[in-house]
Amino acid sequence: MPVRRPIRRHIYGTPGRVGIVAIDRPERRNALNLQVKQEIVDRIESFARDDDVPVIVLTGEGGYFVAGTDIAEMAKMGPTDHVLLQTDRVFHVVRQCPKPVIAAVEGYALGGGCELALACDMIVAADDVQFGQPEIRVGVMPGAGGTQRLLRAMGRYKTLLCV
């Protein structure tokens, strides 16, 4: 049986094609695990090298963007594992992409999903989006600068609603 790839790579429209990176892990509400993070990195870097793609859209399938980091996978890791496995590389690649990266967000953008959206150059959000950093309620600090970026993007009062 072939391995299911949780990231779909699409290119829509010509001329001025738009590179679409769609996260599709419905059984985990598009939670970020190591495989998904690596595939996002691969797709973003591929589109960044493609001269025919001037803009990249990062989105989620199934009615939600990303419900967070895959806690089941993260629970098996220690602090050193996170460093060695470069679990935050996806955020750096998105932020440093030479082309505009737009987050098309609906449903949940929580934890790592919120940080992934905040790493993009622009966020286009549906009316029902829930942004948040719920991991702080269990004593886990957002690892990709989410606390600072959320505050800068939304302001103090809206950020307080996301906690």
Can you list the domains of the chain with their CATH numbers? 7-161 (3.90.226.10)
Mean predicted confidence (pLDDT) in 37-44:
92
- Return the pLDDT at 83: 56
Task: Encode pLDDT of 12-27 as tens digits.
Answer: 444 568 899 999 988 8
Whether 149 has a pLDDT exceeding 70, the answer reads no
Task: Encode pLDDT of 67-80 as tens digits.
Answer: 887 777 766 766 67
- Choose the weakest-confidence range: 5-9, 19-23, 84-88: 5-9
Highest mean pLDDT among 11-15, 50-54, 69-73, 158-162: 50-54
Highest mean pLDDT among 18-22, 28-32, 78-82, 102-106: 102-106
Beta strand 18-23 with 7-12 is: antiparallel
For the chain, the average pLDDT equals 78
Mean predicted confidence (pLDDT) in 97-114:
93
- Return the pLDDT at 100: 96
The dihedral region occupied by 145, where left means phi > 0, alpha psi between -120 and 50, and beta the remainder, is left
- Return the pLDDT at 49: 94
